[in-house]
């Protein structure tokens, strides 16, 4: 989290985070992409901001505000950024619990995107986090 300026997530991920209760988990600005939300619930207006438009418009706007290193979260949001080839690094954490459902992380792409392996880390003797960087 020290390497990023802000988080960008979709509505579903935002609503999931809000459902956890407790303290807000982020100390960085959070931007929520949604075509269906008209505003952020009042309880979270000081924690997250709604952004609308095309991905490229949103990124350009955030970059102009000084947010250059973004953490993208949420299955559909990640898929959208991958389709536009806007992901420079993938950090994929595998949790050894099969849910049997949910949205796929990767969707169809115009062309294959090549990434190179950087490292793997194990946390709590169970979670495996793999890091890959985009080959350009």
Q: What is the pLDDT of residues 37-69, one digit of tens each?
A: 899 999 999 999 999 999 999 999 999 999 999
The b-or-e profile of 40-61 (16+ CB within 10 A means b, else e) is: beeebeebbeebeeebeebbee
Residue 55 is given by DSSP the state H
Range of the domain at 51: 6-134
In a domain, 27, yes or no: yes
Residue 98 has pLDDT above 90, yes or no: no
Encode pLDDT of 7-40 as tens digits.
999 999 999 999 988 889 999 999 999 989 899 9
Please report, for the domain that includes residue 109, its CATH number.
3.40.430.10
3-state secondary structure of 132: strand
Please tell me the total count of domains within the chain: 1
Split at pLDDT 50, 70, 90, the class of 99 is: confident
In a domain, 1, yes or no: no
- Strands 48-51, 30-33: pairing kind: parallel
Split at pLDDT 50, 70, 90, the class of 103 is: low
In a domain, 64, yes or no: yes
């Amino acid at each position: 989290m020290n390497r990023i300026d802000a988080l960008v997530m979709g509505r579903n991920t935002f609503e999931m985070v809000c459902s956890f209760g407790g303290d807000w988990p982020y100390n960085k600005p959070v931007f929520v992409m949604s075509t269906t939300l008209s505003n952020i619930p009042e309880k979270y207006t000081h924690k997250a901001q709604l952004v609308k438009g095309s991905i490229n418009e949103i990124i350009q706007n955030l970059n102009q505000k000084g947010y250059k290193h973004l953490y993208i979260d949420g299955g559909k949001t990640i898929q959208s950024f991958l389709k536009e080839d806007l992901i420079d690094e993938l950090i994929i954490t595998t949790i050894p619990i099969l849910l049997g459902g949910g949205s796929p992380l990767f969707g169809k792409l115009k062309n294959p995107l090549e990434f190179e392996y950087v490292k793997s880390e194990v946390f709590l003797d169970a979670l495996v986090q793999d890091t890959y960087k985009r080959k350009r």
